[in-house]
């Protein structure tokens, strides 16, 4: 029985006889509360089951929807694999990965020459850990001040360029050529983006979100004017958008406006007490503009500077602003050139099916073969290799397998929650049955039947398949869906992929529409939401009834204690009077009732 409010102010004085009497009365009175709490537990259990069912229905619907060819989230697609061949055993030469957008075919990669990073060194120093006695300011990785020089003439779209301070949380644009591409959307809005000399979009300040940066297209400010990229470069747009022109890097006849940007270098103070090791540390701790960075190492007493990036465009920039530290170290000549140039920066070059390709990097080459990422290995110099892109149905098979598993999970769950199950048997053979939480909701039994019907029915479509069993997908005697004939399924995908797509479009569209009635996804009908709304209202009413009943029982128990306390007090007074009269008359009474036993 549910306990109610405490009556400790009375229990200490009230006899066991009366407290037991009150407990018996309250037990009878609490039957309603126990019933309400049982009802609340049942409602909460049903609500939890509906939550589980909703999750499972939405998961299954999402899986079914992704198997429809017109779905924005379609997963039933033929994938691509990339295989590298023509390489000697033990060599790598290159690796390649293909996305689903890669074009199947064979690509011969020949005459590979890897990209190299610019590298220079100082003269040999006697000691690396003793003070060199040199002092002055050296400038690395750029010019003394940043600059932006227009390469193409100004026009009514981009009217000019300038420079500004770099935002605190950003790195400066690296030295190089940049292009402002412009376009007009279908809605008439003019947009722009900044790209580098290889056509890669550059992240700049987002004009619609404070403190955010983007490499995506963004709106040209209304009325034009100067736009601060937040990374050292400013772009000025014309005031009259009616005169704007769509432009792209390398476009013909409208190439994008180009600017030659020179990043500001890093000034490093060298003191007489600095060792070669300390100078190297100062260089490595410096923050350079993108792509203008370098690393400093010491090998055999020589300070070696290596450009951060490979490629001909990423040359080390170094000079003495004050003093002759760089010249004294033997890094620079008196004329300002590098004294010991170990390696010239150069681009990677190779041919793809006879077409010459040049890129500044050896890895992450995503714009050579459409949909393919190429990485040139360390042993690629002078080597050849062949990349073969082939179609694969692995991802399509995985998406169907996922649907099958979700379908079976849902059916098994609904079977348990909508059925009536024998649980125990007494000595006379009488069974006790347990009803599932959804046993009274017949709509889910109908849903199960409708889903099975969608799976086993035949469909008319433009393909050669009219049912799932024709592609090896069946329902067994235990009502379990499976790819029962994997060879038949794989054969259908390999030989008649488009026909399988047509069949799945019919089956999954029907399942999606049926589940939508329950989930509200892509439908105005939302059965589960409606049921849960009603359940939550009922739960609220029962909780309110429980609170009212608890308050009533608490007040009633207090009332009983007060009433029986008065009765006990009256009986005690009567016993006292009887005892007194008996003493006066010289008699005794043996009929006293014990009020404390």
pLDDT digits (tens, 9 = 90+) for 513-559: 999 999 999 998 899 999 999 999 999 999 999 999 999 999 999 99
Q: What is the pLDDT of residue 421?
A: 77
Of 262, 290, 318, the residue at which a domain comes to its end is: 262
Q: What is the pLDDT of residue 12?
A: 53
Whether residues 335 and 368 fall in one domain: no
Interval 303-336: pLDDT, tens: 999 999 999 999 999 999 999 999 999 999 999 9
Q: What is the pLDDT of residue 587?
A: 58
Average pLDDT over the chain, rounded to an integer: 92
Which residues on adjacent β-strands are paired with residue 147? 262
- Please indicate, yes or no, if residue 525 is contained in any of the structural domains: yes
Mean pLDDT over 164-182 rounds to: 95
The tally of domains found in the chain comes to 4
Length of the chain: 597
Could you tell me where the DSSP H helices lie in 318-373?
A: 325-329
Whether residues 407 and 523 fall in one domain: yes
Contact 171, 287 (CB under 8 A): yes
Rounded-to-integer distance, Cα 568 and Cα 572, Å: 6
Q: What is the pLDDT of residue 100?
A: 84
- Please indicate, yes or no, if residue 578 is contained in any of the structural domains: no
Whether residues 399 and 533 fall in one domain: yes
Whether residues 427 and 534 fall in one domain: yes
Mean pLDDT over 563-571 rounds to: 90
Rounded-to-integer distance, Cα 404 and Cα 151, Å: 60
- Please indicate, yes or no, if residue 597 is contained in any of the structural domains: no
Compute φ and ψ for 427, nearest 5 degrees: -65, -20
Whether residues 158 and 248 fall in one domain: yes
Residue 137 belongs to domain spanning: 119-142+265-343
Enter the pTM of the model. 0.66
Rounded-to-integer distance, Cα 158 and Cα 99, Å: 36
Q: What is the pLDDT of residue 251?
A: 83
């Amino acid at each position: 029985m549910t306990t109610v409010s405490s009556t400790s102010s009375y229990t200490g004085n009230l006899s066991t006889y009366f407290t037991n009497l009150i407990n018996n009365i309250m037990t009878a009175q609490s039957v309603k509360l126990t019933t309400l709490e049982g009802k609340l537990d049942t409602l909460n259990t049903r609500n939890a089951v509906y939550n589980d069912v909703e999750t499972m229905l939405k998961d299954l619907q999402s899986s079914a929807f992704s198997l429809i060819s017109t779905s924005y989230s379609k997963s039933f697609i033929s994938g691509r694999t990339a295989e590298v061949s023509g390489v000697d055993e033990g060599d790598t030469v290159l690796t390649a990965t293909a996305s689903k957008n890669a074009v199947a075919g064979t690509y011969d990669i020949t005459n590979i020459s890897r990209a190299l990073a610019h590298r220079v060194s100082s003269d040999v120093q006697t000691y690396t850990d003793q003070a060199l006695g040199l002092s002055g300011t050296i400038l690395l990785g750029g010019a003394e001040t940043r600059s932006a020089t227009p390469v193409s003439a100004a026009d009514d779209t981009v009217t000019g360029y300038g420079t500004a301070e770099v935002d605190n949380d950003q790195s400066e644009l690296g030295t190089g050529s940049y292009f402002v591409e412009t376009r007009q959307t279908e809605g008439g809005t003019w947009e722009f983006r900044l790209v580098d000399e290889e056509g890669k979009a550059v992240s700049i300040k987002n004009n619609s979100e404070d403190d955010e940066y983007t490499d995506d297209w963004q709106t040209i400010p209304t009325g034009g004017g100067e736009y601060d990229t937040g990374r050292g470069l400013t772009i000025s747009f014309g005031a009259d958008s009616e005169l704007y022109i769509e432009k792209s890097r390398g476009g013909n006849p409208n190439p994008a406006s180009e600017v030659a940007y020179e990043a500001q270098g890093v000034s490093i103070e060298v003191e007489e007490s600095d060792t070669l090791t300390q100078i190297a540390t100062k260089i490595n701790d410096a923050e350079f503009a993108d792509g203008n960075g370098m690393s400093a190492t010491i090998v055999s007493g020589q300070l070696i500077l290596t450009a951060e990036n490979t490629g001909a465009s990423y040359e080390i920039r170094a000079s003495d602003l004050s003093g002759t530290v760089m010249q004294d170290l033997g890094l620079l000549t008196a004329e300002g050139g590098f004294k010991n140039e170990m390696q010239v920066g150069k681009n990677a070059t190779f041919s793809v099916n006879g077409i010459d390709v040049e890129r500044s990097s050896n890895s992450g080459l995503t714009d050579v073969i459409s949909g393919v990422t190429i990485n040139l290995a360390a042993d690629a110099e002078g080597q050849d290799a062949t990349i073969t892109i082939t179609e694969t149905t692995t991802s399509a098979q995985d998406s169907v397998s996922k649907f099958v598993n979700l379908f079976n999970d849902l059916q098994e769950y609904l079977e348990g929650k909508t059925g009536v199950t024998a649980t125990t048997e007494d000595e006379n053979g009488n069974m006790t049955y347990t009803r599932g939480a959804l046993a009274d909701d017949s709509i889910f039994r109908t849903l199960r039947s409708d889903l099975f019907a969608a799976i086993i029915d035949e469909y008319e479509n433009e393909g050669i398949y009219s049912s799932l069993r024709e592609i090896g997908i069946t329902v067994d005697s235990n009502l379990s869906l499976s790819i029962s004939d994997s060879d038949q399924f794989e054969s259908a995908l390999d030989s008649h992929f488009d026909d399988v797509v047509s069949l799945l479009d019919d089956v999954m569209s029907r399942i999606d529409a049926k589940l939508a009635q329950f989930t509200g996804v892509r439908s105005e009908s939302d059965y589960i939401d409606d049921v849960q709304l009603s359940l939550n209202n009922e739960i609220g009413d029962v909780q309110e009834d429980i609170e009212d009943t608890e308050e009533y029982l608490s007040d009633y128990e207090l009332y009983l204690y007060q009433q029986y306390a008065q009765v006990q007090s009256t009986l005690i007074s009567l016993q006292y009077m009887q005892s007194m009269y008996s003493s006066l008359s010289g008699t005794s009474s043996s009929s006293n009732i014990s009020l404390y036993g």
